[in-house]
Amino acid sequence: MPKSRIELTESEWAIIKAVWETEPCTAPDIRQKLQRQTTWTYSTVRTLMDRMVVKGLLAAEKVRNLTIYRSAVTRQQAQRGELFYALKHAFNGALTPMVQCLLDTGHLSENELTELESLIKAKKKGAKKA
């Protein structure tokens, strides 16, 4: 079971994304998938994946002389962990300045703004019922 606060390194992100796309998979599968974007050797990929198993990010199953890997965390769990990491480290845990920063970038479409408004309204309605 993964720890409650999931924090991935840049290398772990590269691997977990490749695993999500190809699971179940082996270390050679992942090395091949990442060969264009990294210069990692098989042993580097295997070491990273084995460490991710220890951290609870991947699950490994030995089938004869082959190790089969699967993700042990969902994309949503990993994204949530990354978001909380940024919130904690870049914004001292304050949500409003982080949202203000996102809004100030100017990269939000009209659709995205409408969606955010809907999410906030739904959350407010849910909070009133409780």
Are 22 and 72 in a shared domain?
yes
Which pTM does this prediction carry?
A: 0.75
Host domain of residue 36: 1-90
Most confident of 6-10, 31-35, 84-88, 90-94: 31-35
Reply yes or no on whether the pLDDT at 99 is more than 90. no
CATH of the domain at 67: 1.10.10.10
Are 71 and 108 in a shared domain?
no
pLDDT at 63: 93
Classify residue 84 as exposed, middle or buried by CB count within 10 Å of its CB (0-12, 13-18, 19+): middle
What rounded mean pLDDT belongs to the chain?
A: 89
Alpha-carbon span 111 to 92, nearest angstrom: 29
Query: How sure is the predictor about 128, in pLDDT bands with cuts at 50, 70 and 90?
Result: low
pLDDT at 130: 52
Give the count of domains, the chain.
2
Are 34 and 82 in a shared domain?
yes
Q: Which amino acid is at 93?
A: G
Query: What would the pLDDT profile of 75-92 be if each residue is shown by its tens digit?
Result: 999 998 888 888 888 888
Are 53 and 108 in a shared domain?
no
Are 54 and 114 in a shared domain?
no
Are 12 and 28 in a shared domain?
yes
